[in-house]
Amino acid sequence: MARRRVRTLVMVLALVGVAGLGSGLAYRLATDMPKRFGVVTEGHLYRSGDVTPTQLGRLKQRYGVGRVICLLNAEAPETIAEREAARGLGIEWQNIPLTGDGASTPEDRVAILTLLLDEAASPTLVHCAAGANRTGLAIGLYRIHHDGWDYERVLAEMKDYGFEDLPKHANLRSALTEAATAARTSSAPTGAGAGP
């Protein structure tokens, strides 16, 4: 009887959110999945906010995640715990630290894209803290270069995952705009130019 009440409470929390805690935390309580978890490409690429060692184990079990690309500071205690958990689970762990606003260098973006476009890689989870800015950049790059999406479609998906599109995100927007322009130009037939 007590289990049923707890389960009902968790379901209610997930549906309406917890005052002061937000619906993201309520969802995590109900499902024990990372915040803003999403399937990008089934069996290949997943996205989320921060991930606990327990959640990492569940992602390996449910989705076959065998590689993590962490976009957080490698020296943060939570990141160290995650790295150790990945090692214990036999999960490859990569780190490309970005700032919270999703700002990146061209070298960061090349490193992210190289990892994401590796078709031989194990199913991969890309994550940051909130699953919105840094993860949005990484997945946006993948969508542009792998799926052929344009900038507007990438931006719409990012907003679905909590991206607020504020002035402080100028570097992130610029990086995705440049990537979309470069992808469009490189896919244009010879002699066609970079037209629409």
Could you tell me the sign of the dihedral formed by the alpha carbons of 73, 75, 81, 87, in that order?
Answer: positive
- Region 108-121 average pLDDT: 96
Residue type, 121: A
pLDDT score of 138 more than 80: yes
Give the domain 34-186 fold.
Answer: Protein-Tyrosine Phosphatase; Chain A (3.90.190)
Q: For the segment 38-57, what is each residue's pLDDT rounded down to a tens digit?
A: 999 999 999 999 999 999 99
Q: For the segment 181-195, what is each residue's pLDDT rounded down to a tens digit?
A: 999 888 654 433 333
Verdict on whether the full-model pTM lies above 0.85: no
pLDDT band of residue 172 (cuts 50, 70, 90) is: very high
pLDDT score of 10 more than 70: no
- Region 170-188 average pLDDT: 91
pLDDT for residue 152: 97
Residues 71-77: contacts with CB within 8 Å, 24+ apart?
Answer: 71/95, 71/96, 71/97, 71/98, 71/126, 71/127, 71/128, 71/134, 71/135, 71/138, 72/97, 72/127, 72/128, 72/129, 72/134, 73/97
